[in-house]
């Protein structure tokens, strides 16, 4: 769902803009009406009111125009929410509603919020949709009856939601990724602890991260020594954002960028391929305004400039080639990027009209 501003908590939307896409396109997920991969950003259509989250899905993408929801790409388990399992190579509106406030995805299931109501759809083999069963859904279905959901995030087979500062989890828990102190799985939301001050929640594969009162927590992640309950990372109290990739994470503190986890393709941006089990400062810049992470690549925004790094086998870094990068490299020379969202090996971004 992303870049530009936190979208896993309860932030305002990023400003609307023109939509651009690049990277893998085997399912038409770039939304350009074809299946040709691209290694440089290309505008999708001519509209200028697109809004993004940060994590889109495995090989599908969802975005909003005037709070209407559009989907494109892979649809084998109904993850596009269009009522069928047919792939699309051009954006198609999901339903007729025009009040979507948040949308996030990662593997083959997605989560959205409308007027405080939580909806999920797609793959449900582990109960990750939160409907009390394990039946796939090809259209958005409301989770429960509550109307005060403010945020959420999804991992490979698990999900989280935020309500009144409380954190709820459901789906696959075999590694403890739900943060409930066990490896049990649940097909309906279960509250994580008793705290009421969660502001950000993020997933990366089976890893989970969250922020409370500026403190960073993780569970089933390198930072927490694979705990099945939230564990505070370090003593800092000024964490503003966190995102998760396939097996790595990024965080922001006072405009400075930190990274940790798996680094086999340079996705930590540290100029090498050495794994790290604690947050490491990336460069000296203190004006990072947004971060995002794909499976093995990462990116961020600084003063409207887009930087990417990590694995680049499908051109998902947008540099016009397929060369991996282990340090942040600017994409083009544009200074009007508003938000960026990652898929597995594809990228979407918005730029000011």
Residue 353's pLDDT band (boundaries 50, 70, 90)? Answer: confident
Q: Indicate whether 14 pLDDT > 50.
A: no
3-state DSSP helix/strand/coil percent for the chain, to nearest 5? 0, 45, 50
pLDDT(222) > 80? no
Architecture category of domain 18-351 in CATH: 7 Propeller (2.130)
Answer yes or no: is pLDDT of 317 > 90.
Answer: yes
Q: How many of the other CB atoms lie within 10 Å of CB of 100? A: 24
Supply the pLDDT for residue 3.
32
- Domain residue ranges of the chain, discontinuous segments joined by +: 18-351
CA 217 to the chain's CA centroid: 17
Tokens of 112: 């959205």
Q: Count the Cβ atoms, other than its own, within 10 Å of residue 111.
A: 29
Q: Look at the pTM and tell me if it is higher than 0.85.
A: yes
- Biggest CA-to-CA distance, the chain: 49
**1: pLDDT strictly greater than 50:** no
State percent of the chain over pLDDT 90.
85
CA dihedral angle for residue 236, residue 290, residue 73, residue 159, rounded to 10 degrees? 20
Q: What is the mean pLDDT of residues 336-350?
A: 95
Q: Which of 110, 129, 15 is nearest to 69 (CA)?
A: 110
Residues with Cβ within 8 Å of residue 333, at least 6 apart in sequence: none
What is the tens place of the pLDDT at every residue in 20-52?
999 999 999 999 999 999 999 999 999 999 998
Burial class (CB in 10 A: 0-12, 13-18, 19+), 115: exposed
Return d(Cα 271, Cα 138) in angstroms, integer. Answer: 42
- Write out pLDDT tens, residues 276-286: 999 999 999 99
Residue 150's pLDDT band, with cuts at 50, 70 and 90, is: very high
Residue 13 has pLDDT above 60, yes or no: no
Query: Which pLDDT does position 91 carry in this prediction?
Result: 96
Overall average pLDDT of the 152-175 stretch:
96
Sheet containing 239-244: give its strands across.
239-244, 248-253, 256-261, 276-281
Least trusted range by pLDDT, from 61-65, 168-172, 249-253, 310-314? 61-65
Alpha carbon distance 162, 148 (integer Å):
9
pLDDT for residue 184: 97
Closest CA to 201 of 173, 230, 237, 242: 242
Please compute the mean of the pLDDT values over residues 196-217 and round it to a whole number: 95
pLDDT band, residue 331 (cuts 50/70/90): very high
- State the average pLDDT over residues 256-280: 97
């Amino acid at each position: 769902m992303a870049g530009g501003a936190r979208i896993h908590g309860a932030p305002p939307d990023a400003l609307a803009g023109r939509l651009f896409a690049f990277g893998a396109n085997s399912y038409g997920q770039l939304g350009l009406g074809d299946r040709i991969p691209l290694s440089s950003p290309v505008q999708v259509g001519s509209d200028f009111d697109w809004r993004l989250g940060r994590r889109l899905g495995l090989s599908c993408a969802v975005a909003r125009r005037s709070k209407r929801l559009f989907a494109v790409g892979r649809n084998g388990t109904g993850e596009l929410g269009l009522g069928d399992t047919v792939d699309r190579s051009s954006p198609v509106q999901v339903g007729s509603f025009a009040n979507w406030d948040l949308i996030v995805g990662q593997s083959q299931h997605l989560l959205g919020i409308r007027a405080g109501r939580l909806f999920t759809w797609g793959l449900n083999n582990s109960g990750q949709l939160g409907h009390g069963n394990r039946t796939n859904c090809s259209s958005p279905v409301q989770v429960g009856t509550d109307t005060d959901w403010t945020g959420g995030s999804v991992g490979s087979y698990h999900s989280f939601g935020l309500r009144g500062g409380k954190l709820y989890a459901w789906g696959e828990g075999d590694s403890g990724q739900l943060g409930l102190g066990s490896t049990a799985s649940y097909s309906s939301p279960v509250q994580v602890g008793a705290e009421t001050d969660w502001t950000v929640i993020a997933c990366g594969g089976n890893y989970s991260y969250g922020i409370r009162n500026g403190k960073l927590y993780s569970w089933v992640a390198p930072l927490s020594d694979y705990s099945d309950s939230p564990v505070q990372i370090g003593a800092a109290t000024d964490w503003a954002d966190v995102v998760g990739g396939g097996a790595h994470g990024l965080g922001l503190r006072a405009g400075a960028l930190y990274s940790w986890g798996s680094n086999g393709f340079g996705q930590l941006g540290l100029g090498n391929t050495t794994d790290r089990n604690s947050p490491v400062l990336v460069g000296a810049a203190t004006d990072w305004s947004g971060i995002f992470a794909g499976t093995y690549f990462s990116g961020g925004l600084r003063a409207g400039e887009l930087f990417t790094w990590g694995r680049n086998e499908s051109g998902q870094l947008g540099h016009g080639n397929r060369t991996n990068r282990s340090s942040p490299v600017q994409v083009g020379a544009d200074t009007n990027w508003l938000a960026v969202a990652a898929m597995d090996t594809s990228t979407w971004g918005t730029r000011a009209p």
